[in-house]
Structure 1
Amino acid sequence: MTSDDDTVRPFHSRSIETYSALSPDQAEAVVGLLAEAARSDGQHPVSEQGRLRLRGGAREGVSHLLLTVDGELVGYAQLEDTDPVEAPAAELVVHPSHRGHGHGRALGSALLAASGKRLRVWAHGGHSAARHLAQVLGLTLFRELRQMRRPLTDLELPEPKLPDGVTVRTFVPGRDDAAWLTVNAAAFAHHPEQGSLTQRDLDDRMSEPWFDPAGFFLAEREGELVGFHWTKVHATEGIGEVYVLGVAPGAQGGGLGKSLTTIGLRHLAARGLSTAMLYVDADNKSAVSVYERLGFVTHETDLMYRTET
């Protein structure tokens, strides 16, 4: 959520249209808008999952809201209503040169109407303007996602000690998809975004330029997948990411997560990357503690607001 609205001023030419899928031209225009906002704000205004949904046709439960003024795209919002329990989730952004004119509030109001006033909205970076917009829309803070970082140039981690009977290999696309999706769903059953990934979501990621199975580590015991560490390289920034780290419920508590973390960090350091990053919920105290002991510190935060329930 990115905006700096203070007042709502009349815009007779402003319109908001909702689409289940974007045309190639519409998707390209949204990508350009997101890029301008990222350059201005210092981080992406829409999550990776949201950006992947811009192309590839309609997706169940996903809507795209385009706000235009005089035919020019100046605002975008995405609404996802796929969780059977949680309120629909949204992200929104207004072009940096068009802020301060009520467009963010207009998009937020449209999202509230579309969701039946049951809404969760991300504010990436937690900027004060986004906090103000959340307040104007009647939303309250309920989730904090931390981005943590540590340098890799001085990485000194001991050899990982895997639990008895566990071996580690790399992911094989097409062969390991189903097993990974099953363990991912079990490991993140409490996590609405990660735990609900489908084959289409996995295919989207494997088709991205950054995908490299050599950095996707699988832990097995007697041929059964029990954990994984999927790393990601942000080549332009020289940053390696602990992209997804999961351990099957029956294999937790034996140090496998720490060992997989070490294996992934060593891989990223060997690639010559200067920094490692990861995302973790602030209320996941045990995970935050593990990462802090590994030298990670909080770099920035994403905040999620919601309507009162």
Structure 2
Amino acid sequence: TSIHSLMMRGIKVEQFGDNSSMRICDDLPFPVIKNDEILIKIIAAGINPVDTYIREGWFDNLPLLPYIPGKDGAGIVEKVGDEVNLFKVGDRVFCVLKNTNGTYAEYVSVNYREVFILPEYLSFQQGAAIGIPYFTATRALFPKDPLPQDCSVFIHGASGGVGVACVQLAKAFGYYVTGTAGTLEGMKLVKDVGADAVFNHRNKKYVEKVKEACGLGFDLILEMKASANLSTDLNLLKHSGRIMIIGSSGDVMIDSSLIIAKEAQIAGVACLSASDAEMASAYQTIEKCFKERIIKPYINADYSLKDVQKAHLDLTHSHGSMGKLILSIG
């Protein structure tokens, strides 16, 4: 038997459903690592909208039941597989599990390509908030064909985990950033993390105000809820501008003649669909930002494992997004 007596504590989902399908469990099987994997002792896990989609059972790549939720986490390397030479026991790391789940537990086994060194200036709680938000932001902001140097960026929903990441990275690269939020606290946060201008998207006249302030429109729009906002985005886009859809929750009604008239490009961004090469390329950008201490996730709330049901409820029912929710585990 191992020193860990082959059991660990974490969250188990036995059937897809609402947040009550998540149960705290003290006798989860301890992960076994393959040759190309790393065993991480998880200190904190990031809570992402995708965790709720998977738990509800409406996601492309569903895990076999029962499963342990969680795609983002941060902690300490406990053990490395025989083929792993980029990491050693004791390293502070964060991870993004693209094809698996499991960070809502004391330990997780992860392919080494999905593990990254956590800089000393960031806490494990902040480390748990990097993964999906910052990789998504990087892939949305820096597409294959580069943007103009004096790019103007509109972040439609800038106060959540991904929105904050988008603001920080866009400002780091010298872009002019306009963001929106749905609450006064959210607007203050967007301004505090560096946006040049912020508008309240619950204000009925906010589109007119954005247009007044930003005249010619935007080169790039990052959209967190296309189902509600895509036609507004087309309205605010510059000719031959680009809209990157990061989130949506249903069907979209748009005037497609506007896409033609503006020669607009509309594309989707799904962090978990990225190839290993695309993730490695995004990480190069993130690593540069680490060196300059640009990446500073904003943690809104930190839950213990026993409050995981409340955490998912808060994520899906919040009046306005505010930074990142995390689970403290270790």
TM-score normalized with structure 2 length:
0.26
- Normalising by structure 1, report the TM-score: 0.27
RCO greater where, 1 or 2, for CA within 8 Å and sep 6 or more? Answer: 1
